[in-house]
Amino acid sequence: MADIDDTHFETGDSGASATYPMQCSALRKNGFVMLKTRPCKIVEMSTSKTGKHGHAKVHLVGIDIFSGKKYEDICPSTHNMDVPHVKREDYQLTDISDDGYLSLMSDNGDLREDLKIPEGEVGAQLRTEYDAGKDILCTVLKSCGEEVVIAVKTNTALDK
């Protein structure tokens, strides 16, 4: 039972639930769902059945939006699944500290310095572009109380 409760933990700031329920059959590919208590993006979705004359079941394959790990689940289409609230915000990169923390500025000028440089390709790209003196936009993904930079984009808005 404990693991079910886990999916309902609250985020510190908003006070609202981190997830909301949605009928399994109404989920969509490329949308989000909680699988094994992790927030995932649905990369595959197919319908099967419980026996030929049984009811629809939905087979879901999801990728953990933070760790990239793959999860699978099959559930009756009538079930309510938890869908994580997923927020994404763009920040301007202003600095990278020596210990690998990013200084990010939001649209309204607020500064934050609590996120680390991400791992993998994105992190490497971020570092090179920053070193090259480019203007960088970071997309921060936030869900279930976790946050990470998932994408970088060289800011071209200034050129135009």
Task: Closer to another protein by CB, 112 or 153: give it.
Answer: 153
Supply the minimum distance, in Å, between the C-beta of residue 9 and another protein. 17
Structural contact between residues 145 and 11, judged by C-beta atoms closer than 8 angstroms: yes
Cβ-based nearer residue to another protein, 8 or 87: 87
CB-wise, 28 or 95, nearer to another protein? Answer: 28
Q: Measured from the CB of residue 113, what is the shortest distance to another protein in angstroms?
A: 21
Contact residues toward another protein (CB under 8 A) are 20, 22-26, 28-31, 41, 43, 46-56, 63, 68, 76-78, 83, 85, 87-88, 118, 120-122, 125, 139, 150-154, 156
CA atoms within 13 A on the CB side of 114: 6
**Smallest gap, in angstroms, from Cβ of residue 139 to another protein?**
7
CB of 107 to another protein, least distance (A): 10
Annotate the chain with DSSP letters as a single string. -HHHHHTTPBPTTT-SBSEEEEEGGG--TTSEEEETTEEEEEEEEEEEESSTTS-EEEEEEEEETTT--EEEEEEETTSEEEEE-EEEEEEEEEEE-TTSEEEEE-TTS-EEEEEEPPSHHHHHHHHHHHHTT--EEEEEEEETTEEEEEEEEE--GGG-
Compare residues 6 and 21 and give the one whose CB is closer to another protein.
Answer: 21
- The residue (of 14 and 94) whose beta carbon lies closer to another protein is 14
Least separation in angstroms between CB 2 and another protein: 26
